[in-house]
Amino acid sequence: MNKVTILGSLNVDTILRVKRFPKPGETLPLSGKSVAGGGKGANQAIAAARAGAHTTFIGKVGQDQEGDFMVKQLTDSGVAAQFVQHSSEANTGSAVIMLDSSSENRILIDGGTNQLVTAADVDLAQTVIAASDFLIAQFETPIAATMRGFELAHAANQRTILNPAPATHDVPAKLLSLTDLIVPNETETETLTGVPVTDEHSMIKAAAVFQQLGVANVIITVGSKGAFWQRGQAHGFVPAYKVNAVDTTAAGDTFIGALSSVLRPDFSNLAAAVRFANRASSLAVQKLGAQPSIPTRAAILAAERA
């Protein structure tokens, strides 16, 4: 089974259920409220661990109850958390998620201690990174820390996966040159490449831009439609499984974590790994809450057999 290290964010999510999103100046009643663990990094780590990967996390929380809660969320799912630092300089990251009756979401994030992760914090995990099949990072922690992590991974001949979310126009060319697989959604793809994603032809065009920037392998996720993949000159599209979605918050993170648990470091099974990740994501969207919805490997395999 793969060894995966995740560098990323930890947030406590407050989920507000509404029939529809309010208009400017409008007040609406809630139809429900709950609290769960979240953060793109933590979600992806828990997804990888539950899917069977030996998973280690690098990140930072506050010296508060929320920080203790998030570390417990990791360890309860089998994620090694010895490289999660506790800081008194800020509170643990948090997010407020509005979820409407059609399962669409709007998310507001307070980065908190996630914004304090440094290259020095990453250096502490150098040995683990060097022994990992994949190092995964997102953009909810500082890019300088991600750059250092990807440098360490490449120095050890290990593979890197970048989930460029939230999207930004200011991605250093060096970071992309250190990225072996990039996994954006359609919005992030347009932000990074300038190519609007509307069909498979546009996905091929966007993937070519990524490859020109130095990223050899590309996956573009397009929500309920599925995911496009490109490896070298080979490419394809894997349709999503049709389910009744309840909460799409962790869909993309579950996809990436599950993908990393079965993907070969030479990317030779990229299409099959995308199918496995699609199945995991289809299970996650059928439950409420980011981390509570993430399926286990047994659940994914059972759904595959059904």
Catalytically annotated residues: 253
Closest C-alpha to 71, from 44, 37, 40: 37
Q: Which residues contact 147 (CB under 8 A, 6 or more apart)?
A: 119, 172, 174, 175, 178
Long-range contacts of 233-240 (CB under 8 A, 24+ apart): 235/203, 235/204, 235/207, 236/271, 237/200, 237/203, 238/271, 238/274, 238/275, 238/278, 239/278, 240/278, 240/281, 240/282
At position 152, the amino acid (one-letter code) is L
Report the half-sphere exposure of 165 (CA within 13 A, side-chain side).
24
Q: Residue 9 annotated as binding?
A: no
Q: Residue 105 annotated as binding?
A: no
For the chain, the straight-line distance linking the first and the last C-alpha, in angstroms and rounded, comes to 24
Q: Residue 41 annotated as binding?
A: yes
Q: Residue 249 annotated as binding?
A: yes
Q: Give the number of other Cβ atoms within 10 Å of residue 18's Cβ.
A: 16
Q: Residue 64 annotated as binding?
A: no
Q: Residue 59 annotated as binding?
A: no
Q: Residue 94 annotated as binding?
A: no
Q: Residue 43 annotated as binding?
A: yes
Q: Residue 84 annotated as binding?
A: no
Q: Residue 114 annotated as binding?
A: no
Q: Residue 247 annotated as binding?
A: yes
Q: Residue 278 annotated as binding?
A: yes
**108 within 8 A of 93, measured Cβ to Cβ:** no
Helices (H) and strands (E) in the chain, counts: 11, 13
Q: Residue 223 annotated as binding?
A: yes
Q: Residue 222 annotated as binding?
A: yes
* Known binding-site positions: 11-13, 39-43, 140, 185, 221-226, 247, 249, 252-253, 278, 284, 287, 289, 293
* Known binding-site positions for substrate: 11-13, 39-43, 140, 253
* Known binding-site positions for K(+): 247, 249, 284, 287, 289, 293
